[in-house]
C-alpha cells in the first residue's frame, strides 16, 4: 500500500507539473505552512560549479559544506552568463527580458537602449520575492551587490526591502570605497534610499554579514509572528579578488602547477563526484590562451598567487557566513531557516592588469600589482582567462558566454523538513528559485492583478521532496539570452551560440548528457534536431522580446567604448585642464625654441 501511495503521489505531482503553466506549481507539505521559517538567500559572485567545496573545489568552505550536507545540491542548475540579469531573475522568478534587465549597462549596444525589457531597471509590474514575502508579514533585508539601478525608484527599498545597504555597480574594491575600473568614478553604496559611506575598517564579506546581523537584530520581533527574509549578495569572488593574508596563505603552493593541470584535476574530480559521466571528454581551453610553461618564472609566481587569493576570498566569505549561522544559532533561529546558496554566473575571465591604459588608471586610483601583498588593501588583481577556463572545468568557456562554463554554477537549498544530503542532477534554472521558495512557504498563488508580470520559473520543490523526477520534461524547451550569447535546453540536447571575442557567432548543438564539455557539435549529424531546437529558440526569443545583436558586436570592445565615454563624462573638466596645460607648455616651449633660433639667426 505504501508503494502504491508513493507511485500515485509521484504520478500526480509529475502530471500537474507537466500540464501546468510555469507558475502553477506543486504545493509544499501542509506542515510547512505553519512553521513560518526564515529565508536566507546567499549570492556568490562569479563562482563556477567546482569553485565550491561541496562540488569539488580547493577552497576550505566548511559552512557552505554543512549547508550542502543538510540539504540538496543541484548539479544541473543553470543561470545567465552575466550578473545583473541573473540577479533580476533570481529575485523575481521572471525571465530577464521581462524584468527590464535583459543585459548590463557596461555592454549594452546603443541600438538596444530603451527597447522593451532593456531599460536596465526592474520595470512596472515586476515583483521581487521581497515584495511577495513582505505582503505576508516577513521582514525583508538586503546587503551587498545590487547592480540594478541607483534611482530611488530602482533601489531595493522600492522593491520590497525594509532595510538595505547595497552597491549599485558591477563590483568595487573590497577594502575601500573606490572603483575597480574606469567605468565608475567611485563605489556607489546606498543605505536604504540615500548614498552611504563605508566604515574605515571595511572588508566586504565581513561588512555584508555585520550589516545583516545589525538589521535583523535591531528589528527583531517575536520570530513566530514575523520571520525574516535576508538576501546577502557577496562581492566574492568578483574583480578585484582581495582577501586577508591569513586566508590567502592557506593556498600557498596549491596552484603552482598551473591552469592546465587544475583543469584536468577538476575534470577528474568531476567524474568521481558524478558531476559528469566517467567517459565525458574534456573541452580544450579557448584559442589564444597562454601556455603555463611559456610564462616566465615571475609570471607563474604572479598567477599562482592570484589563484591563491581567489581561494582565500572564498574561504573568507565562508568564514563570515559561518558567523551569521552562529548568530542565528544563538538566537534560536538557525534550525528554522531555509538557506539558498548559489552564484550569479561562471568565473570572470577579464584580466585587469592587461587592460589598455590600466597602468595610468592604477596609479591615479592608488592600486598596485605587487605579488607579496596581493589581495590586500591597494591590490588590484584578477585571475584572467586561463584560470577562469580552468576554474570552469569540466565545462567550456566562462562568464559572459552561454557555454556551460558561463552558466553552470552551484546551487544548494537546505531548510526545515527538507531532505538532507541529496544530489539533484536534473535541469533547473535561476528563475526557479523564487517560485521554489514561495511553494515551500505555501505562498505561491495565481496573480491577482492584471498589471503584474507572470513568474516564468517553476518550483523545484517536487524534485527536492522526491515527488518528481525532473522539473523540465523532455519536451520542455528552456531558453536564455544575454548580450547575444544564447542557449536553449530540451531534453538531453543544448543549442548554443557565443559571440566574439571567445565565440564566433555560430549556432551549435550538443548532447549535454554524454558531452557536458560541449566538445562535439551535432548540428550537421543531427540536422533535424538542430532545426527543431532552433525553431524553439526563435519562439522563445520572439515571445520574450530578445533584441537582435549588431553584427559587429564584441562585449570587450563595447565595454571599452562605454568606459571611454564614462571617463570623458566624469572627468571632462580635468581633461580640459590637462589638455590646456599641455598645450600651454608646448606653446611656451615652441616660443622659447623659436626665440633662441631667431637670436642665433640674428647673430
Q: Which residues are catalytically annotated?
A: 83, 147
Is the CB of residue 395 less than 8 Å from the CB of residue 518? yes
CA atoms within 13 A on the CB side of 282: 20
Q: Residue 163 pairs with which residues in a beta bridge? A: 141
3-state SS of the chain: helix, strand, coil percent to 5?
Answer: 40, 15, 45
CB 492 within 8 A of CB 511: yes
DSSP H helix total and E strand total for the chain:
17, 16
CA 512 to chain centre: 22
SS3 384: helix
**Preceding amide of 504 cis, omega within 30:** no
Measured distance CA(518)–CA(515) in Å, rounded:
6
How is residue 533 written as a grid cell? 531546437
State how far the Cα of 49 lies from the Cα of 168, in Å rounded to an integer.
Answer: 25
CA 463 to chain CA centroid, nearest Å: 24
Q: From CA 459, how far away is CA 461, in angstroms rounded?
A: 5
Q: Whose CA is closest to 210, among 61, 40, 324, 42?
A: 324
**How many other CB atoms are there within 10 angstroms of residue 241's CB atom?**
29
Amino acid at each position: 500500500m505504501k508503494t502504491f501511495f508513493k507511485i500515485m503521489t509521484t504520478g500526480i505531482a509529475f502530471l500537474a507539473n507537466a500540464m501546468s503553466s510555469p507558475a502553477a506549481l506543486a504545493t509544499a507539505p501542509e506542515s510547512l505552512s505553519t512553521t513560518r521559517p526564515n529565508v536566507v538567500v546567499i549570492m556568490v559572485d562569479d563562482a563556477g560549479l567546482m569553485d565550491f567545496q561541496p562540488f569539488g573545489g580547493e577552497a576550505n568552505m566548511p559552512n557552505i559544506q554543512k549547508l550542502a550536507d543538510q540539504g540538496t545540491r543541484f548539479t544541473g542548475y543553470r543561470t545567465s552568463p552575466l550578473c545583473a540579469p541573473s540577479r533580476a531573475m533570481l529575485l523575481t522568478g521572471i525571465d530577464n527580458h521581462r524584468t527590464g534587465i535583459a543585459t548590463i549597462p557596461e555592454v549594452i549596444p546603443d541600438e538596444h537602449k530603451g527597447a522593451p525589457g532593456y531599460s536596465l531597471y526592474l520595470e512596472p509590474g515586476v515583483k521581487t520575492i521581497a515584495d511577495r514575502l513582505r505582503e505576508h508579514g516577513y521582514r525583508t533585508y538586503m546587503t551587498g551587490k545590487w547592480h540594478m539601478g541607483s534611482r530611488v525608484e530602482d533601489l531595493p527599498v522600492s522593491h520590497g526591502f525594509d532595510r538595505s545597504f547595497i552597491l549599485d555597480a558591477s563590483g568595487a574594491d573590497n577594502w575601500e570605497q573606490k572603483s575597480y575600473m574606469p567605468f565608475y568614478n567611485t563605489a556607489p553604496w546606498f543605505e536604504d534610499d540615500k548614498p552611504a559611506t563605508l566604515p574605515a575598517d571595511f572588508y566586504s564579506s565581513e561588512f555584508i554579514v555585520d550589516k545583516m546581523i545589525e538589521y535583523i537584530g535591531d528589528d527583531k520581533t517575536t520570530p513566530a509572528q514575523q520571520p525574516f527574509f535576508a538576501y546577502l549578495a557577496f562581492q566574492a569572488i568578483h574583480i578585484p579578488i582581495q582577501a586577508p593574508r591569513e586566508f590567502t596563505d592557506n593556498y600557498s603552493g596549491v596552484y603552482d602547477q598551473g591552469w592546465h593541470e587544475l583543469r584536468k584535476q577538476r575534470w577528474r574530480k568531476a567524474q568521481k563526484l558524478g558531476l559528469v559521466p566517467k567517459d565525458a571528454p574534456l573541452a580544450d581551453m579557448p584559442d589564444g590562451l597562454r601556455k603555463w610553461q611559456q610564462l616566465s618564472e615571475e609570471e607563474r609566481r604572479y598567477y599562482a598567487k592570484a589563484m591563491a587569493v581567489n581561494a582565500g576570498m572564498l574561504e573568507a566569505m565562508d568564514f563570515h557566513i559561518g558567523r551569521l549561522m552562529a548568530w542565528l544559532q544563538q538566537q534560536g533561529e538557525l534550525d528554522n531557516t531555509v538557506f539558498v546558496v548559489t552564484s550569479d554566473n561562471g568565473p570572470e575571465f577579464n584580466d585587469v592588469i592587461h587592460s589598455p591604459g590600466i597602468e595610468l588608471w592604477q596609479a591615479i586610483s592608488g592600486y598596485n600589482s605587487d605579488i607579496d601583498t596581493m589581495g590586500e588593501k591597494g591590490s588590484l588583481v584578477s585571475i584572467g582567462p586561463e584560470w577562469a577556463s580552468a576554474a570552469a572545468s569540466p565545462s567550456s568557456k566562462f562568464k559572459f558566454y552561454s557555454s556551460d562554463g558561463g552558466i553552470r554554477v552551484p546551487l544548494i537549498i537546505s531548510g526545515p523538513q527538507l531532505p538532507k544530503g541529496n544530489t539533484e542532477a536534473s535541469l533547473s534554472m535561476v528563475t526557479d528559485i523564487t517560485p521554489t521558495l514561495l511553494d515551500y512557504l505555501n505562498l505561491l498563488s495565481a496573480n491577482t492583478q492584471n498589471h503584474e508580470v507572470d513568474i516564468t520559473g517553476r518550483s523545484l520543490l517536487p524534485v527536492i521532496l522526491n515527488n518528481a523526477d525532473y522539473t523540465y520534461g523532455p519536451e520542455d524547451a528552456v531558453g536564455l539570452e544575454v548580450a547575444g550569447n544564447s542557449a536553449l535546453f530540451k531534453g538531453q540536447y543544448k543549442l548554443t551560440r557565443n559571440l566574439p571575442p571567445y565565440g564566433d557567432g555560430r549556432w551549435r548543438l550538443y548532447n549535454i548528457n554524454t558531452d557536458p564539455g560541449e566538445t562535439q557539435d551535432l548540428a550537421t549529424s543531427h540536422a533535424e534536431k538542430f532545426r527543431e531546437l532552433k525553431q524553439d529558440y526563435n519562439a522563445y526569443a520572439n515571445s520574450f522580446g530578445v533584441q537582435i545583436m549588431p553584427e559587429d558586436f564584441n562585449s570587450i570592445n563595447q565595454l571599452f567604448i562605454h568606459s571611454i565615454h564614462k571617463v570623458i563624462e566624469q572627468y571632462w573638466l580635468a581633461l580640459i585642464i590637462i589638455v590646456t596645460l599641455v598645450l600651454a607648455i608646448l606653446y611656451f616651449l615652441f616660443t622659447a625654441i623659436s626665440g633662441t633660433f631667431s637670436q642665433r639667426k640674428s647673430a
